[in-house]
Amino acid sequence: MIGVFDSGYGGLTILRAFLDNLSEYDYFYLGDSARTPYGNKSLNTIYEYTRQAVAFLFNQGAILIILACNTASAKALRRIQQEWLPIHYPDRRVLGVVIPLAEAAVEASRYGRIGVIGTRATIESRVYEQELHKLDAGLKIYSQACPLLVPLVEEDWVGKPETNMILKKYLHPLKSKRIDSLILGCTHYPFLKKGITRIMGKNCHVMDAPRIVAEKLADYLKRHPEIEQRLEKKGRYIFVTSDDPKRFKAFGDKFLGRRITDVQNISF
């Protein structure tokens, strides 16, 4: 099966794209809602939380795990891939969302002026800048932390005047730099994409992060048949949270765009 991990609910937007485009595979979603947000945690804490989640998903039978969480992708993925995985599960894989979005932004950019919005932790990690400059050292990268957006999405304030006002304030510095592509560096932000696109205008391409990650996963599976052939294809979905299953389900139905019938609880 394919494991999908996020610090909470946001990764369900990524899973939603997987179910739309790669529905034949089995998926196991783990949301560590009891310990969210990860963004205000130390580097070692984020690594340890992510390592625990990855170990859990592998123990459940996952062959491939996607870290849908931008913070985990930015601050834990490389260490897990380089230090932990070769020792414990050398025949399995863990992937993140940063590199797929960086690659897509470079492909879409016309003038090499790319913007990134995300949580404070993701922006301060500079991981998108690093990956973008690996692809093209001449790019101009402009980043903006948007700490208020996640709680606004979770409180269902999308589209309200107050939210639009905050979006304009966050996006104004990027718009003034005349960026031509914008990376939504948080899994909650697809809910705000319509408003972001309106504010940024027709000269800026706002990346559809879930669709891009799903397309990149499909491409990865084509290039790695040794992984793809080991994945179960019965179209089954399992949902697990470290917090209240009822609360997870209430958010999950909205984020996934489908009715979730069962959510299990775990503790680390």
Selecting among 4, 69, 116, 149, the annotated active-site residue is 69
For the question of residue 204 being annotated catalytic, the response is no
Phi and psi at 144, nearest 5°, equal -145, 120
Q: Which SS3 state, helix, strand or coil, does residue 184 take? A: strand
Q: Which residues contact 65 (CB under 8 A, 6 or more apart)?
A: 2, 3, 4, 5, 54, 57, 58, 92, 93, 94, 95
3-state secondary structure of 57: helix
| Gap between the Cα atoms of 154 and 9, Å rounded | 9
Q: Contact, 231 vs 23, CB < 8 A?
A: no
Q: Where are the alpha helices (DSSP H) in 77-160?
A: 77-79, 85-88, 98-108, 120-125, 127-135, 149-154
> What's the rounded Cα separation, in Å, for the pair 220 and 217?
5
CB atoms within 10 A of CB 159: 11
Q: What does each C-alpha distance from 78 to 28, 133, 218 come to in angstroms?
A: 22, 17, 21
The residue annotated as part of the active site, out of 72, 158, 174, 186, is 186
Task: Please enumerate in sequence order all residues whose Cβ is within 8 A of that of 259, keeping only pairs 6 or more positions apart, or say none.
Answer: 253
Kindly list the distances between the CA atom of residue 179 and the CA atoms of 69, 139, 154, 186, in Å, as whole numbers in the listed order.
Answer: 25, 11, 28, 19
**Strand 237-241 to 264-265 pairing:** parallel
146 is catalytic: no
Residues with a catalytic annotation lie at: 69, 186
